[in-house]
Amino acid sequence: MKYKRILLKLSGESLMGSKQFGIDHDMLNQYSNEIKNAVDQGIQVAIVIGGGNIFRGIQAEEGGIDRVQGDYMGMLATVINSMALQSALERIDVSTRLQSAIKMEQICEPYIKRRAIRHLEKGRVVIFGAGTGNPYFTTDTAACLRAIEIEADVVLKGTRVDGIYSADPEKDKTATKYQTISFDEVYKQGLNIMDLTAFTLCNENKLPIIVFDMNQKGNLLRIVEGEAVGTLVQF
């Protein structure tokens, strides 16, 4: 296997599937099976999932809710998604632990780096909820931060598209896909992969990112086996 320990970043919106809001259980089960296939190969898997299918802090601000309050509401939404994913994984006999950046002792552990690594070493999937625990930071930033802390080999950003393109492929039919691209090239071209704080964290800590289509069955396992799936952002 090319990667031993991975951080998988999923968007909250990806859980909606064909729905307009909330969680599509077919999509949840599909993701769970993809993750199980990787775990069964001995891959250590940590996960960060967004909350946009339930609540987005920035949208709340537009509606008159204080930005800080809205961001905390968004963090709680990520915990709901994390709990749903945890339940789906445990239903197919994948051992998991949910750690939250905000203390919620009745439903999850507090985030502790050494404990998270120990869970991974024991073959448990670790799901990180509540972002970084701070307003103004996205779940992309949380994913990159946690990946660095647990010494993951790569950040895998699961999306609806099969990689990084020179332009939005849904709007521009002439857009070309990159197999690999450097961090510097992403900066120069202004490509929107993840927020700049998250992207810079990975760049400064020499942590590669792979952007790929999580909805394509088998892609996650193919990546950890070393196949060229999606787009690799490297140095």
Q: What is the pLDDT of residues 179-218, one digit of tens each?
A: 999 999 999 999 988 999 999 999 999 999 999 999 999 9
> For the chain, first and last CA: distance in Å?
21
Give me the percent of the chain exceeding a pLDDT of 70: 98
Beta strands of 17-86 (E only): which ranges? 44-49
pTM of the model: 0.95
Question: Is 194 exposed, middle or buried (CB count within 10 Å of its CB: 0-12, 13-18, 19+)?
Answer: buried
Q: pLDDT band at residue 57, thresholds of 50, 70 and 90?
A: low
- What's the CA gap between 85 and 30, in Å, rounded? 11
Average pLDDT over residues 113-123: 98
Domains of the chain: 5-154+218-228 (3.40.1160.10)
Looking at the predicted structure, is the pLDDT value of residue 61 above 80? no
CB 37 within 8 A of CB 220: yes
Nearest alpha-carbon partner for 147 in 100, 209, 94: 209
Q: pLDDT band at residue 18, thresholds of 50, 70 and 90?
A: confident
